[in-house]
Amino acid sequence: MLSKSNLILAAAPTEMMAAQSFGLTLAHMAYRVGGGPHLFRANLPIPARGGLMMIDDAGFDGRGDPGPFCQEVMRECTARGYTGVICGFDRPFPLLGRVIAELSPLLERQGWPFYISELYARYSDTAKILIPTALSGGSLHQRLEEAAAQYGASRIALAVERAAEDFFLPSPTGQGIPLSQEALQARIEERSPTIFFSGELCAHYFTYMNKQNGAHFILFDDASSIRKKLHVARTLDISDALLPYPEVADILPEILA
């Protein structure tokens, strides 16, 4: 059985009750950097306590003073009994860099872990860096090995993604068209392809031809490929991983088996 220690399950407020049943540390996907900036919160169930706060930057305009925002984060953590923070910022705002820089020592003094996207790694020497697992080329082992060499293995955390993408061949940009699980299954059922596993990418793939636009390459994850990614990380002494409940809910029992 896969060890549940150091696995974090990110769940929205509406998914919290179902997510709790897996016995993992929860990251509450209920927070956003709002104008000011101020900490915006979605409605949470009254008994929701413990776990980690997860903050995104969707819609933020990049302006304001980080100090009051950081204090709001710390007060909310204390009120809700959170014992760590995840800042899943994916846009390069200097102000959010200052937020990271100010939050980092505040959380460190409490002994609480702090997870940030690699985009903001230069703003903290102690935060854990989230490395996405979905690759369209190269090697996951090498990607993690390089990150561990740069930041230290103890500061790396996997940001697990359940890949499902359709690439045109050739694919000069390395960007595919995201597929829903329903669309992925429809392609598999329609074409009955031979499915291969890439040990480098730790993902499944198959190819097919389309009369309109030629050759395609589909890359996707299932429970076994995600387990493989977690295993690769742990061979490099990387134990922390963030799993997105909405994406993996149907295969989570297999991942944890």
Give, for all 257 residues of the chain, the pLDDT tens digit.
Answer: 567 779 999 999 999 999 999 999 999 999 999 999 999 999 877 667 899 999 999 999 999 999 999 999 999 999 999 999 999 999 999 999 999 999 999 999 999 999 999 999 999 999 999 999 999 889 999 999 999 999 999 999 999 999 999 998 877 777 899 999 999 999 999 999 999 999 999 999 999 988 877 899 999 999 999 999 999 999 999 999 999 999 999 999 999 99
Tell me whether the CATH fold assigned to 7-162+221-256 matches the one assigned to 166-217.
Answer: no
> DSSP alpha helices (H): ranges in 43-93?
66-80
> DSSP alpha helices (H): ranges in 66-134?
66-80, 94-110
Nearest Cα residue to 236 out of 130, 114, 161, 152: 152
Query: In terms of CATH, what superfamily is 7-162+221-256?
Result: Glycosidases (3.20.20.80)
Domain boundaries in the chain? Answer: 7-162+221-256, 166-217
CB atoms under 10 Å from CB of 109, counted, come to: 9
pTM of the predicted structure, to 2 decimals: 0.93
Q: Go through the chain and tell me how many residues it has.
A: 257
Q: In what order do the strands lie in the sheet with 203-210?
A: 177-178, 164-168, 214-220, 203-210, 196-198
Q: If one looks up domain 166-217 in CATH, what number appears?
A: 3.10.50
